Amino acid sequence: MSRIAYVNGSYVHHASAAVHVEDRGYQFADAVYEVVAVLNGKILDMEPHLARLSRSLQSLQIAMPMSDKALSVVLNEVKRQNRLRNGILYFQVSRGVAAREHGFPDGSISPSVVVTAKRLNFDAIKEKQKTGISVKTMVETRWARPDIKTVCLLANVLAKAEANKGGATDAWFVDHNGMVTEGTANNAWIIKGSTLITRELSNDILAGITRSSLLEVAEKEGLKIEERSFSVAEAKAADEAFITSTTNFVMPVVSIDGQKIGDGKPGSICQKLIKFYWNYLEN
């Protein structure tokens, strides 16, 4: 069955889905997006993703294109038409189509909305969780508001490409104080003793939905949590490390800049967190 996308009110074949050449998302990255996971036919964490979309749109002064209820209907319909049982739904809202000028028309254009679906093999993710990933640290090169989930991801793309070229799976950005901010598409965590440590929310990082959910799960399981900045040196000296994201859930980090974390294998607390989180998702 061919893939189906939603574009500005119509459900169309993915291969022919398109927006106008002067859409500001295409020309200026004047757009925001969200990605939700679909597990066993269920869309996960719909409400917090829609709430974050709304915050991002407000930050860029883009009007919400439809109500949360209407957008939920669209997302479920794209899921249904693609017969998506396990995978992701990507949805993007741009300011809309206008003559190419840096200044944008105030209220005179309608936002563009795109939704696509993609199948994922979550068994492959579970296998990767058994071995973990490697990361490379890099100087922060993104704009000053990564807390807004815009499609302006060129710095993220280049950082991941450089990490991959050096044999690492992903990159962790590091601010001018030598503190880790986050990964290219994920939140960064370390574990020291029995304490989970992740950077506090601010304009410096994205408020990850999986991050938030894991904090709730960890608290219920009685684990110690510190929301604070940590340095690259502290990360390399940690007992364990991991990332969280919509598509990785909880993924162990077993080396940073080529240096093993712990014994270079997913640690016991990471393994517990993975188990706890899968239970949370599946129940």
Give DSSP secondary structure letters for 135-171: EEEEE--S-S-TTS-BS--HHHHHHHHHHHHTT-SEE
> Nearest CA to 50 among 117, 143, 149, 188?
149
| Assessment of whether the complete model's pTM goes beyond 0.85 | yes
Which CATH code of 3.30.365.10, 1.10.510.10, 3.40.50.300, 3.20.10.10 fits the domain covering 125-282?
3.20.10.10
Question: What percentage of the chain carries pLDDT values higher than 70?
Answer: 100
192 is catalytic: no
Q: What is the mean pLDDT of residues 6-31?
A: 97
Give the orientation angle of helix 46-59 with respect to helix 68-81, to 10 degrees: 120
Fold type of domain 4-120: D-amino Acid Aminotransferase; Chain A, domain 1 (3.30.470)
Domain boundaries, the chain: 4-120, 125-282
Residues 264, 133: Cα–Cα separation, whole Å? 10
Per-residue b/e over 21-52, b at no fewer than 16 CB within 10 Å? eebbbbebebbbbbbbbbbeeebbbbebbbeb
Q: Where are the alpha helices (DSSP H) in the chain?
A: 24-28, 46-59, 68-81, 122-131, 154-165, 209-220, 232-236, 268-282
Give the pLDDT confidence of 65-100 residue by residue, as tens digits.
999 999 999 999 999 999 999 999 999 999 999 999
H or E segment and range at residue 175: none
Task: Kindly indicate the confidence band of residue 107, based on its pLDDT and cuts at 50, 70 and 90.
Answer: confident
Residues 35, 153: Cα–Cα separation, whole Å? 14
Give the pLDDT confidence of 123-151 residue by residue, as tens digits.
999 999 999 999 999 999 999 999 999 99
Give the pLDDT confidence of 174-210 residue by residue, as tens digits.
999 999 999 999 999 999 999 999 999 999 999 999 9
- From 126, 128, 136, 149, active-site residue: 149
Give the orientation angle of helix 268-282 with respect to helix 209-220, to 10 degrees: 100
Query: Rounded mean pLDDT of the chain?
Result: 97
pLDDT surpassing 80 at residue 1: no
